[in-house]
Chain A
């Protein structure tokens, strides 16, 4: 486990979303760009050689920032201090269908999406000139 890598990711999350480090949660690089989150307790126990995967897919490292997965947004959304866009139920429905949606133009870059009507976090999108580009996973879209 590369602790420098992990510290860098937490620093980036702090800069991008104002998220503090979560106690008991470790972040690991999986492949070239994917980050997985796993509990500290788990990583103390396991022998990596025998394991196919640990924890959940948390985020992807993009050239222009960190793009959180749906579960990643749910893990850290509550503690995020910035770049969280709150949308109503109608827009949330369009979001989970996979559509790009309109948002206030003052957002730029990766933002966490919060469904106000359900008080739930539903992923992360790329804000560009008043539009939020959708990355909601295809397998989970409601069509």
Chain B
């Protein structure tokens, strides 16, 4: 999967995976870290944490601890600061529109997810060390769940910078800098939008954000 590659985790890193269940990205991060360093894999749902634990066990991941908190409250619970943070946020899953369009997709749901996603991203950024990297990703194509969320972070946190990043062989489109009557920060063009026809995958969105020192 692409978000862990954007995170570029190193064996010595301390990584937070804020919305980790069911754990496919966590196990990939652990593999990239050669089972060294440390990962905190957090999720809010006990049911989903069961599958996270199962997958960590299956892959023999020994560098990961599992926590169960609302990600938005994590900064007040875990006082550590991380080299890397992944916020693979809950979303409408509208990026799966070719295979299975979400039956509960409504504008109201998108608005409510937008508020949750903003909270998670702000919390994740707070827990990042200066110089550290945060990756924000969703499997949605809706700008309110993607560019608008990152735009909110840029407006609130002066030290947040969106970085251009690409992976060889992956076709993508730049992030949007405007949508309907709304204009976003110009750096949002450095985000990555992937559509199904690009690489024969579902659609998704990824932003790589650095906290300036």
Contacts and interface: CB of A to CB of B under 8 A. Distances in A.
Given A56-B61, A75-B60, A41 B37 contact: yes
By size class, the interface of chain A is 20 to 34
A45 B63 CA distance: 10
A52 B66 contact: yes
Nearest to A51: B65
Interface in A45-84: 45-47, 50-57, 69, 71, 74-75
A51 B67 contact: yes
B61 A41 contact: no
A45 B12 CA distance: 12
A25 B63 CA distance: 9
Interface stretch (B49-57, B96-104, B169-177): B49-57
B60 A41 contact: no
Majority SS at the chain B contact face: mixed
Nearest to B54: A139
A46 B38 contact: yes
A47 B40 CA distance: 11
A54 B12 CA distance: 18
B35 interface: yes
A25 B38 contact: no
A81 to B, nearest CB: 21
Interface residues of B, number: 27
A50 B67 contact: yes
A68 to B, nearest CB: 12
A122 to B, nearest CB: 13
Given A41-B36, A46-B40, A56 B57 contact: yes
A97 to B, nearest CB: 18
B56 A56 contact: yes
Given A45-B80, A52-B49, A39 B65 contact: no
Contacts of A24: 36
A51 B39 CA distance: 12
B110 interface: no
B167 interface: no
Given A39-B35, A50-B77, A45 B64 contact: no
B37 A53 contact: no
A56 B60 contact: yes
B73 to A, nearest CB: 11
Nearest to B30: A39
A137 to B, nearest CB: 9
Interface of B: 12, 14, 35-40, 49, 53-54, 56-58, 60-69, 77-78, 80
Interface of A: 24-25, 37-39, 41-42, 44-47, 50-57, 69, 71, 74-75, 139-140
Given A53-B65, A57-B57, 18 more contacts: A24-B36, A37-B62, A38-B62, A39-B36, A39-B37, A41-B36, A41-B37, A42-B37, A42-B39, A45-B38, A45-B80, A46-B38, A46-B65, A47-B78, A52-B66, A54-B66, A55-B61, A55-B62
